[in-house]
Amino acid sequence: MNSLHSTIYWLNSHNNIAYSLTRIFLGTALFVRGIIVASDIDRLTQLANGHNFYWWYSYIVVIHIIGGFMMAIGFFTRIAAFIQLPILFIAVFFVHLSQGLANQNQSLELAALVLFLLIIYFAFGSGNLSIDSYISKRKIQKKHYAEKINTK
């Protein structure tokens, strides 16, 4: 019983890890999605309705690969989330909304969840397990070090 309480206490005091792990998973999923779509040119052309929208799907692939990778490692996370917001907004409100909820593919639910998570990471940033956090901590350390030297 004591180990259960100590485990719950540890989990509650380290909930920022769950936030970062969710970001890592989301970034990796978007990265892999971009790779999968890019690897099947015939499917990409079919999705793009011939060549009319090929530039749009090319944009989606590039943004998912670059933005997903950046989110997974937590590097410029807000920018990575922001550049993917238009894609997911269009996916939710213009592509999947007409299919409705409880569809066999569950595309609307998943796209809405990804859109919601992107908004959260755009607003709140990357979390502790990220390059952004490391850079921020280094800047603070350098600032304190410089102030300490200047006060002597």
pLDDT at residue 105 in the model: 64
Give how many domains the chain has, as a whole number.
Answer: 1
Would you say residue 29 lies in a domain? Answer: yes
Task: Write down the pLDDT at residue 143.
Answer: 78
* CA–CA distances in Å: residue 21 to residues 28, 73, 147: 10, 10, 35
In the prediction, which pLDDT does 14 show?
Answer: 81
Q: Out of 32-36, 80-84, 106-110, 147-151, which region has the weakest mean confidence (pLDDT)? A: 147-151
- The label of the residue with tokens 């005091």 reads 13
Which of the two residues, 146 and 26, has the higher pLDDT score? Answer: 26
Name the pLDDT band for 115 (thresholds 50, 70, 90): very high
Q: Is residue 88 part of a domain?
A: yes
Residue 5 lies in a domain: no
What is the pLDDT confidence band of residue 51, given thresholds at 50, 70 and 90?
A: low
DSSP SS3 for 29:
helix
Read off the DSSP letter of residue 152. -
Q: What single letter denotes the amino acid at residue 111?
A: A
CA distance linking residue 24 with residue 107, whole number of Å: 21
Amino acid identity of residue 21, one-letter, is: L
pLDDT at residue 144 tops 60: yes
Domain limits for position 130: 16-150
> What pTM was computed for the model?
0.82
Average pLDDT of span 6-10: 85
Q: Is residue 108 part of a domain?
A: yes
- Whether 77 and 70 have beta carbons less than 8 Å apart is answered as yes
What local confidence, expressed as pLDDT, does residue 52 receive? Answer: 63
Q: Is residue 9 part of a domain?
A: no
Does residue 71 lie within any of the structural domains?
yes
